[in-house]
């Protein structure tokens, strides 16, 4: 499932980068930036929806979003921008990627939480280390003094 | 034909890269390595590899004098490679076209596909958000700094290793 999602995501990124170079006069790193930002938004949405099936998690999160986004091309563009002394573009590339990426992950998380039915809303609690990939923790979830659930599946 | 082969290469490479990252992530969790460190390690590995591979691939296949390495400050060390910094006059146009299409297919398979699928930005962003939600701002800052500076430095390291392996010391 991860491989299938990664293949589809990589193809979409290739398409985005190609379309950006063909259709616009912007420098080449903008296409990678767009693919990364789109992947961050989708990753936030997927983490907020918090699918329980490990197959679906692998397909959507590690596979599709992971394949759609890339770090190596971002770092390669950044290194070449620095080597050619294009400092302003390098700063724009880093700033837009990091701030935009984090912002879109948060936006995706909140949108997915807002859209999902009230009883399925995931609670934003610190993620214990080593509790990834759908690990389940015993926690108390509730409003006020009314406990509504005792099991929490890690959304991240 | 080149376009189709490139698309297949991107899909196959992306699938293999994502699968490899999935295996590393799943192996890291029981070993006690936090997820952000596993993603950081995979991303840095991909950065060093892309730096080396771009030298390797362009030295082998760039015969039209349009190499990205011409913009590298030490790119002149590759001046002895025919066709890298200036078009190769000895080659017939058909050979240049063939090398160009091989470069497209192979960079699609290796860069866009394999390394693009291996490294990820979305998991990095999600880890940053989850670390900050957990109040671990110092860890988030370390992750951010190591990723961005380490990634760029990793690419430069890979480029330098490639230049050492394929370049000639300047007289």
Do A153 and A114 fall within a single domain? no
Do A87 and A130 fall within a single domain? no
Report B:25-44 residues touching A (Cβ under 8 A): 25-26, 29, 32, 34-35, 43
- Sign of dihedral through CA atoms B120, B122, A71, B151? negative
Q: What is the pLDDT of residue A130?
A: 44
pLDDT, tens digit, 9 for 90 and up, residues B60-119: 888 777 777 777 777 777 777 777 777 777 878 888 888 888 888 888 888 888 999 999
User: How far off is chain B from A147, nearest CA to CA, in Å?
Assistant: 22
Q: Is the pLDDT of residue A104 over 80?
A: yes
Do A146 and A82 fall within a single domain? no
CA distance B67 to B31: 42
Report, as an integer, the average pLDDT of A45-54. 78
Q: Is A47 exposed, middle or buried (0-12, 13-18, 19+ CB in 10 A)?
A: buried
What number of H helices and E strands is found in chain B?
Answer: 6, 0
Report, as an integer, the average pLDDT of A103-116. 83
- Contact list, A156 vs chain B (CB under 8 Å): 35, 126-127, 130
Instruction: Categorize the per-residue pLDDT at A132 as very low, low, confident or very high, splitting at 50, 70 and 90.
Output: very low
Distances (CA, A) of A121 to A99, A115, B53, B81: 26, 9, 45, 60
CA distance B148 to B40: 10
Instruction: Categorize the per-residue pLDDT at B141 as very low, low, confident or very high, splitting at 50, 70 and 90.
Output: very high
Q: Does residue B137 belong to the interface with chain A, where contact is any CB pair within 8 Å? A: no
Q: Do B13 and A75 touch (CB under 8 A)?
A: no
Do A141 and A105 fall within a single domain? no
Q: What is the pLDDT of residue A117?
A: 62
For A153: left if phi > 0, alpha if psi spans -120 to 50, otherwise beta; the answer is beta
Q: Does residue A129 belong to the interface with chain B, where contact is any CB pair within 8 Å? A: yes
Residue whose pair of structure tokens reads 């390394």 in the numeric block:
B115
CA distance A18 to A20: 5
What is the token pair recorded at A38? Answer: 């789109």
Do A135 and A67 fall within a single domain? no
Report, as an integer, the average pLDDT of A41-63. 82
Candidates A44, A58, A71; nearest CB to B121? A71
* Structural domain total, chain A: 2
The dihedral over CA atoms of A137, B32, A41, A8, expressed in degrees to the nearest 10, equals -110
Instruction: Categorize the per-residue pLDDT at B150 as very low, low, confident or very high, splitting at 50, 70 and 90.
Output: very high
Instruction: Categorize the per-residue pLDDT at A155 as very low, low, confident or very high, splitting at 50, 70 and 90.
Output: very low
Q: Is B98 exposed, middle or buried (0-12, 13-18, 19+ CB in 10 A)?
A: middle
Nearest to B124 by CA among A71, A124, A91, A6: A71
What is the DSSP annotation of B17-51? HHHHHHHHHHHHTTTT--HHHHHHHHHHHHHHHHH
Instruction: Categorize the per-residue pLDDT at A118 as very low, low, confident or very high, splitting at 50, 70 and 90.
Output: low
Do A61 and A85 fall within a single domain? yes
- Calculate what percentage of chain A has a pLDDT beyond 90: 17
How large is the C-alpha radius of gyration of chain A? 18
Are residues B156 and B72 in contact, defined by beta-carbon separation less than 8 angstroms?
no
Do A116 and A138 fall within a single domain? no
Do A71 and A135 fall within a single domain? no
Q: What is the pLDDT of residue A128?
A: 44
pLDDT, tens digit, 9 for 90 and up, residues B2-44: 788 888 888 888 889 999 998 888 888 788 788 888 899 999 9
Q: What is the pLDDT of residue A69?
A: 92
Instruction: Categorize the per-residue pLDDT at A140 as very low, low, confident or very high, splitting at 50, 70 and 90.
Output: very low
Q: State the residue range of the domain holding A9.
A: 2-122
Task: Return mean pLDDT, chain B.
Answer: 85
Do A42 and A112 fall within a single domain? yes
Question: What count of CB pairs under 8 Å joins A to B?
Answer: 210
Report, as an integer, the average pLDDT of A134-138. 47
Do A45 and A98 fall within a single domain? yes
């Amino acid at each position: 499932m991860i491989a299938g999602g990664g293949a589809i995501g990589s193809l979409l990124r290739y398409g985005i980068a190609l379309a950006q170079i063909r259709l616009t006069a912007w420098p080449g790193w903008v296409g990678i930036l767009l693919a990364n930002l789109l992947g961050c938004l989708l990753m936030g949405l997927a983490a907020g929806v918090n699918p329980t099936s490990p197959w679906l998690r692998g397909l959507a999160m590690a596979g599709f979003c992971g394949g759609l986004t890339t770090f190596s091309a971002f770092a390669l563009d950044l290194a070449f921008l620095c080597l050619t002394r294009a400092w302003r573009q390098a700063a724009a590339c880093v700033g837009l990627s990091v701030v935009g990426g984090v912002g879109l992950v948060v936006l995706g998380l909140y949108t997915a939480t807002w859209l999902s039915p009230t009883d399925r809303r995931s609670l934003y609690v610190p993620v214990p280390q080593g509790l990834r990939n759908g690990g389940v923790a015993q926690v108390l979830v509730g409003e006020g003094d009314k406990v509504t659930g005792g099991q929490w599946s890690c959304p991240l | 034909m080149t376009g189709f082969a490139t698309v297949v290469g991107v899909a196959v490479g992306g699938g293999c890269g994502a699968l490899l990252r999935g295996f590393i992530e799943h192996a890291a969790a029981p070993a006690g390595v936090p997820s952000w460190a596993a993603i950081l390690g995979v991303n840095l590995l991909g950065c060093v590899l892309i730096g080396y591979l771009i030298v390797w691939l362009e030295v082998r296949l760039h015969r039209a004098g349009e190499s990205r390495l011409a913009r590298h400050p030490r790119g002149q060390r590759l001046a002895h490679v025919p066709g890298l910094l200036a078009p190769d006059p000895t080659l017939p146009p058909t050979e240049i076209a063939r090398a160009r299409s091989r470069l497209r297919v192979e960079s699609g398979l290796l860069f866009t596909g394999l390394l693009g699928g291996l490294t990820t930005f979305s998991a990095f962003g999600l880890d940053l958000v989850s670390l900050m939600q957990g109040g671990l701002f110092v860890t988030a800052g370390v992750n951010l700094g190591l990723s961005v500076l380490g990634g760029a430095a990793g690419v430069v390291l890979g480029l330098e290793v490639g230049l050492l392996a394929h370049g000639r010391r300047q007289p």
